[in-house]
């Protein structure tokens, strides 16, 4: 059985030094090439045989929205106020935390606000890069999935993801104050997802793991922020993302039923590695570097953050039920269940799975219905 050392390159999940030792080696890179190893597959069978995917495809056609005209771009955004708001709402640093001997000992209010601003720039930048990865992955799925109904649906997702890249990058450029390069851990995960030669790994990595985490993260920020433009943008992006995760669940559920035990174990290991990589990125190490602080010194602040473990766990609240629905949690003597127990995220296993909740999350349809009733 593969050990943590073999799967994630370290024995201890919480080895912060090992996590921080992985960093982005080329922050000025403009273009990043990844070689895909999968076949592009034609199918001559044009008959749809998956009503659940047809229904999702129809929904995607009617719930398209326009990033230029459907969002209130004229909203004035005061980023410092926004940073303060998010710091207050997330203020989880214990009152008796001792920063003596650390860079935070003498920090002024302005420096704390700057940290909030950088943290926002970083977070939205990672969302934007993740959206581009989703754009690339779904274009890849159009080519590699052998079923016509899945190709139809994936094509709508390509358009959705282009729109998401568009709105996140516009928000960063017009309302925030600077881009960050991709986080090293996220980048490694995305490279793995794209280069794998098995078509279903693109689905598992992107549709279930990365998009599942994004859906939870967007939901969290949507709840926390009072900024109307960001709020509406996230509501609309989440409406699309719920369909995307559903697409992954519906497709893989069928495919995994025909795989043998060794293949299923490979999928479990892939899901575990993806989970750990996404968890590793939560340290926001690039923010510390930009603020001129050795990320290792930032550990004092990271460890004083009492809400961090709970917040990190919540980000897996969409992933775990979907993994369970796919049969990956308990297959092969429950290997992945034990890994998720170690990650302390198993408590979400019976939360709603996104295969069913996407209709309820369609805020675009709700707004349109309300507008029709009003007129
Ligand atoms: Fe997206
Ligand atoms: Fe998506």
The C-alpha atoms of residue 3 and residue 40 are separated, in whole angstroms, by 34
Contact 201, 270 (CB under 8 A): yes
pLDDT above 80 for 372? yes
**pLDDT for 93:** 67
- Tokens representing 342 are 């170690």
**pLDDT for 96:** 66
- Tokens representing 47 are 């008959």
Q: What pLDDT, in 10s, does the model give residues 176-205?
A: 999 999 999 899 999 999 999 999 999 999
Contact 352, 22 (CB under 8 A): no
pLDDT above 80 for 355? no
Q: What pLDDT, in 10s, does the model give residues 330-343?
A: 998 999 999 999 99
**pLDDT for 168:** 98
Which residues are placed with Cβ below 5 angstroms of ligand 1, an ion?
A: 131, 134, 161, 164
Average pLDDT over residues 46-55: 96
Tell me the CA–centroid distance for residue 207 and ligand 2, in Å. 7
Bridge partners for 305 per DSSP: 93
Bridge partners for 93 per DSSP: 305
The CB-based long-range contact list for 82-86 (8 Å cut-off, 24+ gap) reads 82/120, 82/225, 82/227, 83/113, 83/116, 83/117, 83/119, 83/120, 84/113, 84/116, 85/224, 85/225, 85/226, 86/116, 86/119, 86/120, 86/224, 86/225
| CA-closest candidate to residue 281, choices 105, 130, 162 | 130
- Tokens representing 279 are 């968890």
Fold of domain 109-374:
Ferritin (1.20.1260)
The C-alpha atoms of residue 324 and residue 350 are separated, in whole angstroms, by 8
Q: What pLDDT, in 10s, does the model give residues 265-305?
A: 999 999 999 999 888 887 888 898 899 888 888 887 887 88
Domain ranges of the chain: 109-374
Whether the model pTM is above 0.75: yes
Alpha helices in the chain (DSSP H): 4-8, 16-20, 51-62, 79-89, 109-144, 148-175, 184-195, 199-202, 211-224, 228-256, 261-280, 285-290, 299-304, 308-314, 319-325, 331-342, 354-357, 363-374
Tell me the CA–centroid distance for residue 26 and ligand 1, in Å. 25
Tell me the CA–centroid distance for residue 360 and ligand 2, in Å. 17
H-helix or E-strand containing 22?
none
Q: What pLDDT, in 10s, does the model give residues 307-338?
A: 888 888 999 999 999 999 999 999 989 999 99
Indicate the range of 202-211, 237-246, 296-305 predicted with least confidence.
296-305
| CA-closest candidate to residue 339, choices 271, 245, 281 | 271
Residue 302 CB coordination number (10 Å): 16
For residue 130, the ligand closest to its alpha carbon is: 1
Indicate the range of 74-83, 87-96, 142-151, 285-294 predicted with least confidence.
87-96
- Tokens representing 343 are 């990650």
For residue 206, the ligand closest to its alpha carbon is: 2
Tell me the CA–centroid distance for residue 336 and ligand 1, in Å. 26
């Amino acid at each position: 059985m593969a050990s943590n050392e073999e799967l994630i390159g370290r024995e201890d999940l919480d080895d912060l030094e090992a996590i921080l030792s992985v960093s982005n080696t080329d922050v000025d890179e403009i273009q990043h090439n990844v070689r895909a190893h999968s076949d592009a597959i034609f199918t001559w069978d044009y008959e749809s045989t998956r009503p659940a995917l047809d229904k999702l495809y129809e929904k995607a056609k009617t719930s398209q929205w326009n990033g230029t005209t459907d969002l209130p771009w004229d909203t004035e955004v005061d980023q410092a106020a926004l940073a303060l708001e998010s710091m207050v709402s997330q203020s989880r640093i214990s009152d008796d935390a001792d920063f003596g001997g650390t860079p935070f000992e003498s920090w002024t209010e302005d420096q704390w606000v700057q940290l909030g601003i950088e943290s926002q720039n970083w977070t939205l930048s990672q969302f934007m890069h993740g959206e581009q990865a989703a754009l690339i992955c779904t274009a890849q799925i159009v080519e590699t999935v052998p079923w016509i109904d899945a190709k139809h649906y994936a094509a709508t997702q390509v358009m959705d993801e282009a729109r998401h890249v568009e709105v996140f990058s516009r928000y960063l450029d017009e309302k925030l104050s600077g881009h960050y390069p991709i986080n090293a851990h996220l980048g490694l995960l995305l490279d793995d997802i794209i280069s794998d030669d098995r078509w279903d790994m693109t689905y598992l990595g992107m549709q279930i793991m990365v998009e599942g985490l994004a859906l939870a993260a967007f939901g969290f920020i949507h709840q926390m922020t009072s900024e109307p433009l960001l709020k509406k943008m996230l509501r609309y992006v989440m409406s699309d993302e719920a369909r995307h995760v559903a697409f992954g669940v519906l497709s893989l559920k069928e495919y995994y039923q025909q795989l043998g035990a060794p293949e299923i174990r490979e999928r479990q290991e892939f899901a575990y590695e993806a989970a750990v990589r996404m968890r590793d990125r939560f340290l926001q190490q690039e923010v510390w570097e930009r603020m001129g602080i050795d990320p290792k010194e930032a550990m004092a602040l990271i460890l004083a953050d009492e809400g961090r473990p709970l917040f990190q766990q919540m980000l897996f609240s969409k992933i775990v039920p979907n993994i369970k629905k796919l049969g990956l949690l308990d297959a092969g003597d429950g290997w992945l269940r034990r890994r998720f127990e170690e990650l302390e995220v198993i408590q979400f296993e019976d939360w709603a799975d996104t295969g069913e909740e996407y209709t309820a999350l369609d805020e675009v349809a709700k707004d349109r219905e309300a507008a029709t009733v009003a007129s």
